[in-house]
Amino acid sequence: MAGAPGGSRGSELEASPELVTHRTSLWGMELGLQEGANFVLREKVVRVMRIAFLGDVVGEPGRQAVKEAIAWLREQWDPDFFVVNGENAAGGKGITPRIAYELLRYGADVITLGDHAWDQREVIPFFAEEPRLIRPLNYPPGTPGSGFVVVEGNGKKLAVISAQGRTFMGVPVDNPFILIREILPELRAQTPCVLVDFHAEATSEKLAMGWHLDGLVSAVVGTHTHVQTADDRVLPGGTAYITDVGFCGAHDSVIGREKQSVIQRYLTLLPTRMILATEGIQADGVILVIDEKTGRAQKIERFQLPVGLRTVVGSSLGASQSPGN
């Protein structure tokens, strides 16, 4: 937008000494009109960090969704960082070094995990080689890998924490509410922008974590249940929150598995092989916009991106518009 005092931009509006309008866009530009008869463009640059977070990747269909989604998101919204939950990337159970490199090659800057982190044993020594692959923070001391990482790109720094819930999750991990708070001073000394992937089953535990960390981190995004929730919001302290971002994979399914195999288990209660579904592939996730200086979230919006259709469903985001327009 450009213009001069008293020019065509001003002539479109009724001159009023009291009139002040402004808009803050997701791209970090605040545009306003000064008071007075002559309207003057006021420009204030606000440096923001844009993050795309993609939900649990389920098998090869999920990896296909991630590949297309990252390419499209980069073209449309140009995020500074891509964070991907790779929890189910290897046939629906865990991740391998080869698949981790595949996701990194597609453009992931960080890969988070969850309760299936150890399902593929070959990944255990790989944690020492690849710091961008992180497992939940709240495993016992001495567990391979790290629960957090700080990455740099485009002159910016982002800290990412992976943590696992304890309610209905089976594994008796340490208390994530305590451990995340303990690690925050170390991370915030490097950057005010901190993203937490909280991999948990219970809605109440996820909500509690969001409020517990409000004002201390930039975002708390929930993973694990594979069903995207409609509660994306910025909490009063400036922390973006969503209970679950959904998953990347075949959505004509039961959370990524072939429908009949799951139904059969419920009908008979007998052990049933859970087959990966292949139809209705889409990538679920959120776009986060963070004030780079303060670490406070300005915006969170969820998306559902069907593979091949290049349209966004279930959100106010559209294929031809920038987030927030």
Place of tokens 């001159």: 15
Alpha helices in 258-303 (DSSP H): 259-268
Q: How many CB atoms lie within 10 A of CB 33?
A: 18
Burial 187-223 (b: 16+ CB within 10 A, else e): beeebbbbbbbbbbbbeebbebbbebbbebbbbbbbb
What token pair was written down for 84?
Answer: 């991907």
Strands in the chain per DSSP E? 21-24, 29-33, 41-45, 48-54, 56-57, 81-85, 110-112, 133-134, 148-153, 156-164, 194-199, 219-223, 233-234, 240-242, 247-250, 281-291, 297-306
Q: Which two tokens stand for residue 259?
A: 């429908």
HEC per residue, 128-151: HCCCCEECCCCCCCCCCCCCEEEE
Choosing from 22, 116, 212, 224, the catalytic residue is: 116
State how beta strands 81-85 and 48-54 pair. Answer: parallel
Q: Is 224 a catalytic residue?
A: no
The residues assigned a catalytic role are 116
